[in-house]
Structure 1
Amino acid sequence: MTSFPEPTNPAGSRSEVFLRYLDYFRESAVAKVSALAEPELRQSRLPSGWTPLELLTHLRHVELRWIEWGFQGRAVAEPWGDRRDDRWYVAPDETRSDLVAALRAQGAHTTAVVSAHDLAEIGAPGPRWNDADPASLERVLFHLVQEYARHVGHLDVVAELAGGPTGE
Structure 2
Amino acid sequence: MTLPPFPESTVPAAGRAEVFLRYLDYFRESVLAKVSTLAEDEQRRSRLPSGWTPLELLKHLRYVELRWIEWGFQGRDVGDPWGDRRGERWYVAPEESCAALTAALRAQGAHTRTVVESSDLATRGAPGPRWNGADPAPLERVLFHLVQEYARHLGQLDIVAELAGGVVGE
Q: TM-score range by the shorter chain?
A: over 0.9
In 2: Cα distance, 1:140 partner to 1:110 partner: 11
In 1: Cα distance, 2:62 partner to 2:169 partner: 22
Residue type at the aligned position of 2:68:
W
Structure 1 gap segments, 5+ residues each = none
In structure 2, the residue matched to 1:117 is 119
Residue type at the aligned position of 2:71:
W
Residue type at the aligned position of 2:21:
L
Q: TM-score, normalised by structure 1?
A: 0.99
RMSD, aligned α-carbons:
0.5
Given candidates 5, 8, 19, the residue that maps to 1:6 is 8
In structure 2, the residue matched to 1:68 is 70
User: Aligned ranges for residues 1-168 of structure 1 at < 5 Å?
Assistant: 1-168=3-170
In 1: Cα distance, 2:151 partner to 2:145 partner: 10
Residue type at the aligned position of 2:67:
R
Deviation at 1:72, TM superposition (A): 0.2
Q: Secondary structure at the match of 2:125?
A: coil
In 2: Cα distance, 1:34 partner to 1:84 partner: 24
Deviation at 1:78, TM superposition (A): 1.0
Deviation at 1:60, TM superposition (A): 0.3
Deviation at 1:118, TM superposition (A): 0.3
Structure 2 gap segments, 5+ residues each = none
Residue type at the aligned position of 2:61:
L
Deviation at 1:165, TM superposition (A): 0.9
Deviation at 1:19, TM superposition (A): 0.2
In 2: Cα distance, 1:166 partner to 1:3 partner: 16
Q: Secondary structure at the match of 1:69?
A: helix
Residue type at the aligned position of 1:160:
E
Give the fraction of aligned pairs with identical amino acids, expressed as a percent: 76
Q: Secondary structure at the match of 1:8?
A: coil
Deviation at 1:119, TM superposition (A): 0.2
